[in-house]
Amino acid sequence: MMRALLWIATALVVLWSGYWFVGKSTVERGFEAFVLAAPGNGLTVSQTGYRVAGFPNRFDLTLTEPRVTDQRSEIRWEAPFVQVFSLSYRPWHVIAAFAPEQVIRTPAEDITLQSEKLQASVVVSPSSALTLDRTTFVGDAIRASSSLGWMLAADTLRFATRSDPSQTNAYDIGLEVLGLSPDPALAARMPDLPPQIAFARIDANATLSAPLDRFAAGSRPGLTALSLREAVLTWGDLSLSAKGDLQVINGLPEGRIALRATGWRNLVVLATSMGLITPEFAPTLTNMMQAVAGSSGDPEVLEMPLIFAAGQMLLGPLPLGPAPRLN
């Protein structure tokens, strides 16, 4: 009996070892095929070396000095390394661990991203298309600094998506940021507010023009609709909330977002500091917003719609200029 059990155990070990080494070869071939196919999908991918480890229960792919460039936008991401892990019995769920420092290069600037922890989890459907099911992105002690001189930092970042089966190519999106520190130069222009934004959260649903799957680099899914269930920001006495729905037509948003602001006078200072309005226009905007807030019964609370129509943005009756192009 013991001899039979030993033979069975030995056979299982051999079979599992064979499965792992076959899986290792599959991971290597899959990565090499991805690199070769990348230019046809508008990407350039390079690295100075890679290896697969993790026997017997994981496939751990480590890339040394990876570089990924989007040929259309000329945006490049680079890092000293990145690691991608998956359980050998659940290869459709992968976890990525990023280096403490990464660089995003754009035609306009270079952004250096530093963090104590930065990890992502991706789950795809176990099918040939590998359609995205859900993602999670977590980071601690994050700092972004630009070659143009600005910086941004956050104590904690949480981002997640989940496919919405009730709609085609739709995803629920959640974002939470704690301890967000804006650029010191901007914060210095806001003397009535603390140097750190305590809390920001977004709960939304996005509909895309194509599925997020292994063909996405070629199909280039674009945003077609956005339902903003809730967006909240708390910065000292300034509190912002927003909700509404947008459609994207020819790359431009159409729709209405309802805004509510407590301590709204800080918004005028913020918009002026960011160059969104001129200092000369600031008193006029303040008077107009004060009139709107006064009509609500609480002069410290402002409720106005942010309207996107015909390629333009309006805050209530106030024109803000051209709407941003979303794809």
> Half-sphere exposure of residue 61, counting CA atoms within 13 Å on the CB side?
21
**What does the pLDDT read at residue 54?**
72
Q: What is the pLDDT of residues 100-157, one digit of tens each?
A: 999 999 999 999 999 999 999 999 988 878 899 999 999 999 999 999 999 999 999 9
Please give the Cα distance from 232 to 193 (Å, whole number). 17
Domain boundary among 108, 137, 169: 108
Please give the Cα distance from 163 to 170 (Å, whole number). 6
Please give the Cα distance from 221 to 304 (Å, whole number). 32
**What does the pLDDT read at residue 1?**
57
| Residue 51: inside a domain | yes
| Residue 207: inside a domain | no
Q: What is the pLDDT of residues 230-280, one digit of tens each?
A: 999 999 888 999 999 999 998 899 999 999 988 888 888 887 877 777 888
| Residue 49: inside a domain | yes
Domain boundary among 108, 130, 155: 108
Most confident of 25-34, 79-88, 102-111: 102-111
Q: Which residue has the higher pLDDT, 302 or 102?
A: 102
87: pLDDT strictly greater than 70: yes
| Residue 119: inside a domain | no
Q: Identify the band that residue 164 occupies on the pLDDT scale cut at 50, 70 and 90.
A: very high
Which helix or strand (DSSP H or E) is residue 276 part of? none
Please give the Cα distance from 36 to 44 (Å, whole number). 9
Phi and psi at residue 265, in whole multiples of 5°? -60, -30
**What does the pLDDT read at residue 13?**
47
Alpha carbon distance, N-terminus to C-terminus of the chain: 67
Contact 16/56 with Cβ under 8 angstroms?
A: yes
CA 98 vs CA 43, 72, 77: distances in Å: 20, 25, 12
**What does the pLDDT read at residue 291?**
81
Buried b (16+ CB within 10 A) or exposed e, 141-175: bbebbbeeeebbbbeebebbbbbeeeeebbbbbeb
Note down the domain range covering 271: 264-327
Single pTM value for the model = 0.84
- Count CB neighbours of 280 within 10 A: 8
| Residue 285: inside a domain | yes
| Residue 70: inside a domain | yes
Among the residues of the chain, which ranges form H helices? 2-37, 184-188, 216-219, 265-273, 282-295
Among the listed residues 98, 100, 106, 209, the one whose alpha carbon sits nearest the alpha carbon of residue 148:
106
Domain boundary among 77, 108, 139: 108
Structurally, how many domains does the chain consist of? 2
CA dihedral 37, 38, 42, 46 (to 10 degrees): -150
Cβ contacts of 219-224, under 8 Å, gap ≥ 24? 220/42, 221/169, 222/248, 222/251, 222/326, 222/327, 223/248, 223/326, 223/327, 224/248
40: left (phi over 0), alpha (psi -120 to 50) or beta: alpha
**What does the pLDDT read at residue 8?**
60
Please give the Cα distance from 308 to 256 (Å, whole number). 6
Q: Which residue has the higher pLDDT, 217 or 215?
A: 215
Mean pLDDT of 294-307: 82
Contact 186/271 with Cβ under 8 angstroms?
A: no
| Residue 94: inside a domain | yes
Please give the Cα distance from 241 to 257 (Å, whole number). 10
- Count CB neighbours of 323 within 10 A: 19
Among the listed residues 72, 82, 221, 244, the one whose alpha carbon sits nearest the alpha carbon of residue 161:
221
| Residue 289: inside a domain | yes
Among the listed residues 163, 161, 162, 113, the one whose alpha carbon sits nearest the alpha carbon of residue 139:
113
State the DSSP code for 148. T
Q: Which residue has the higher pLDDT, 311 or 281?
A: 311
